[in-house]
A and B are shown apart, each in its own frame.
Chain A
């Protein structure tokens, strides 16, 4: 799609050129017509003067030389005449050896350049009757100076119009850039929104943009609101299901059932399955995924709380450290990321002897996250199996965390990759690659 700036410039240039050409041409034409009318009046007077100069002499009709303008005597002076009457033709001396054809009809005629010195002649013919004869007087005037004047005017006008067009284009560009600045700002804010650096668009925008910005903000608020409501509903559902499940789990290990160990074990197994499934599906349903473009996770604000929570759960003896640049913002929903990191770190804490390290690094295309522990690790050939769906990394350790299952769900929802490696601390390294949102 072409930019608005380009479209505006193109449109403006086209309109200006068409209007300018039409206007300039018609102005010239009108001006020339007016000028010719004026010249015609002059030529008519000249012809009347010539008519008046025709006198009756000894040999019939003759021209009174004294009564005609001196310009008709000077050769190629630019003023010519010819007088046609039945007995012959008189031509002005200024025509010298040139023949000026008689216009075919009375009135003004612009002859082609057949005048002397390539002069273009404006010829006026008037028919009279004098001394009993039909006399046709044609008076001509050199039109070339006027024509050249018009040419020059056209050229100057063209040059001026070109300069004006350029100035207008520059001014228009400045104006458009200025008036499009709010659009550009909105564009930058949308980019920030995707980066997770803001959660709403600025509402201080021109009237034209207001509905758009208001709509985007409304959509964002709506998405956030419906996510919160659905999370709340899921929480309620979870509550409604998990509390009775807790009663059942407790009943299954009640003393009355100790006499029936097989029944008790089966109950436990089935309940455990329900519980696993429930927790996993509820967690998956809670994921915000990509629904919120404005989501962001402030590492400096959130991670200390998470790490101290883990420290509290797993005891003081465990060293929990993090390696990451300060002020790091991750473009994902807070709850999603807490769930991801919480499960990863919790898993690592269960296995670690004394140390768990969380690392996050920012790369142009993706974020790298890794969690190291100094526990026993997982042998190379078993790692793939651990990652496959449903298997539990933590089944030998007390507790019922869902371990990597939930982590996998979250990473899948974000289009990331998960890998198990050997940790420099000696245990397992869970390494995640989470692509930046590509929008």
Chain B
């Protein structure tokens, strides 16, 4: 899951980036509203966290420009201005959720999960479920037939992306774009290695390879 964090407070951005990375998100961080308008539209983000008090361009203006440019990525507004009048304004401008500062890191995590599932049209359950597998995002482990299977951070990220996009052929470049932030070197071999690790842990059939097209998540039921 690739995520854009637009926040001008450096210590908070550092904290959030670290926490989000621990939760398996690839995070790009921007502090200026004008940069955010451009980068939000040019990079394929799965989710955007937007602060409202930004230098350069106010957050609401950034959001309005994104929505005017038909950007459909879910946006979570993160702001210290927590009055209901401002909340309604934010959601009218096209935000999908609103979290006021200060917040609990767990709350942010839950909101992000639920936003991602809602964006994929999935029910908002504590555990992600797709084709026989249950993914516990808090503990970063997968359950199959009642057995817990531990995953590494990279495997967790890959499997979560597959499970959020079931029955969908995902090319290697698509996966790389959504799993790594803008600064990481994208090496398709690394992806293959992680896919192989997942197959070893969960069974060969869990991810099918479509030659020349990419991968398809089939789950354990297939």
Q: Is the CB of B85 within 8 A of A239?
A: no
A244 to B9: give the CA distance in the assembly, Å: 8
Q: Is the CB of A245 within 8 A of B102?
A: yes
Question: At the interface with chain A, which of B14-22, B42-50, B172-180?
Answer: B14-22
B203 within 8 A of A: no
Q: A253-B105, A308-B91 are in contact. Are A342 and B80 (CB under 8 A)?
A: no
A245 to B101: give the CA distance in the assembly, Å: 8
Measured CB to CB, the closest approach of chain A to B112, in angstroms, equals 14
Q: Is the CB of B107 within 8 A of A246?
A: no
Q: Is the CB of B104 within 8 A of A249?
A: yes
Q: Is the CB of A238 within 8 A of B80?
A: yes
A17 within 8 A of B: no
A247 to B102: give the CA distance in the assembly, Å: 8
Which residue in B80, B88, B96 is a CB contact (below 8 Å) of A305?
Answer: B88
- Chain A residues near B84: list those with CB within 8 A: 306, 309, 335, 338-339, 341-343
A243 within 8 A of B: yes
- Chain B residues near A248: list those with CB within 8 A: 102
Q: Is the CB of B15 within 8 A of A239?
A: no
Q: Is the CB of A315 within 8 A of B124?
A: yes
- Chain A residues near B107: list those with CB within 8 A: 398-400
A419 to B33: give the CA distance in the assembly, Å: 45
A306 to B103: give the CA distance in the assembly, Å: 22
Measured CB to CB, the closest approach of chain B to A185, in angstroms, equals 33
Measured CB to CB, the closest approach of chain A to B124, in angstroms, equals 6
User: Which residues of chain B from 95 to 151 have a CB within 8 Å of any chain A CB?
Assistant: 96-98, 100-107, 110, 114, 124
B58 within 8 A of A: no
Interface centre among A271, A286, A400 (most CB of B within 10 A): A400
Which residue in A235, A242, A271, A342 is a CB contact (below 8 Å) of B87?
Answer: A342
Q: Is the CB of B102 within 8 A of A275?
A: yes
Which residue in A247, A254, A312, A335 is a CB contact (below 8 Å) of B91?
Answer: A312
Measured CB to CB, the closest approach of chain B to A347, in angstroms, equals 12
Interface size class of B (residues with CB under 8 A): 20 to 34
B81 within 8 A of A: yes
User: Which residues of chain A from 236 to 270 have a CB within 8 Å of any chain B CB?
Assistant: 238-251, 253-255
Q: Is the CB of A250 within 8 A of B12?
A: yes
Which residue in B11, B22, B104 is a CB contact (below 8 Å) of A400?
Answer: B104
- Chain A residues near B184: list those with CB within 8 A: none
Q: Is the CB of A286 within 8 A of B83?
A: yes
Q: Is the CB of A250 within 8 A of B80?
A: no
A279 within 8 A of B: yes
Residue of B nearest to A316 (CB): B118
A102 within 8 A of B: no
Residue of B nearest to A398 (CB): B107
Residue of A nearest to B19 (CB): A250
Q: A244-B11, A275-B102, A342-B87 are in contact. Are A250 and B81 (CB under 8 A)?
A: no
Q: Is the CB of B92 within 8 A of A312?
A: no
Q: Is the CB of B104 within 8 A of A247?
A: no
Q: Is the CB of B81 within 8 A of A235?
A: yes
- Chain B residues near A246: list those with CB within 8 A: 12, 80, 101-103
Measured CB to CB, the closest approach of chain A to B105, in angstroms, equals 5
B55 within 8 A of A: no
A279 to B102: give the CA distance in the assembly, Å: 10
A279 to B16: give the CA distance in the assembly, Å: 22
- Chain A residues near B106: list those with CB within 8 A: 253
A266 to B19: give the CA distance in the assembly, Å: 20
Measured CB to CB, the closest approach of chain B to A356, in angstroms, equals 15
Q: Is the CB of A242 within 8 A of B83?
A: no
Q: A244-B11, A286-B83 are in contact. Are A313 and B98 (CB under 8 A)?
A: yes
User: Which residues of chain B from 71 to 90 have a CB within 8 Å of any chain A CB?
Assistant: 79-85, 87-88
A253 to B18: give the CA distance in the assembly, Å: 12
Residue of A nearest to B84 (CB): A342
B53 within 8 A of A: yes
A255 to B83: give the CA distance in the assembly, Å: 32
Interface centre among B12, B80, B92, B102 (most CB of A within 10 A): B102
Q: Is the CB of A238 within 8 A of B91?
A: no
Measured CB to CB, the closest approach of chain A to B192, in angstroms, equals 30
Measured CB to CB, the closest approach of chain B to A410, in angstroms, equals 11
A421 within 8 A of B: no
A283 within 8 A of B: yes
A149 to B97: give the CA distance in the assembly, Å: 100
Q: Is the CB of B83 within 8 A of A312?
A: no
Q: Is the CB of B102 within 8 A of A239?
A: no
Interface string of B161-176 (1 = CB under 8 A from A): 0000000000000000
Which residue in B83, B100, B110 is a CB contact (below 8 Å) of A338?
Answer: B83
Q: Is the CB of A339 within 8 A of B16?
A: no
- Chain B residues near A306: list those with CB within 8 A: 84, 88
Q: Is the CB of B101 within 8 A of A279?
A: no
A242 to B53: give the CA distance in the assembly, Å: 12
Q: Is the CB of A271 within 8 A of B80?
A: no
A334 within 8 A of B: yes
* Chain A interface (Cβ < 8 Å from any Cβ of B): 235, 238-251, 253-255, 271, 275, 279, 283, 286, 305-306, 308-309, 312-313, 315, 334-335, 338-339, 341-343, 398-400
23 CB < 8 A contacts A-B? A238-B81, A242-B101, A242-B102, A244-B12, A245-B102, A246-B80, A246-B102, A248-B102, A249-B105, A250-B19, A275-B102, A283-B83, A306-B84, A306-B88, A309-B84, A313-B97, A313-B98, A315-B124, A334-B85, A335-B83, A338-B85, A339-B84, A342-B88
Excluding A246-B12, A334-B85, 12 further A-B contacts by CB distance (< 8 Å) are: A238-B80, A238-B81, A239-B81, A242-B101, A246-B101, A254-B18, A271-B102, A283-B83, A309-B88, A313-B97, A338-B83, A398-B110
Pick the 3 closest A-B CB pairs, nearest first: A342-B84, A242-B80, A246-B102
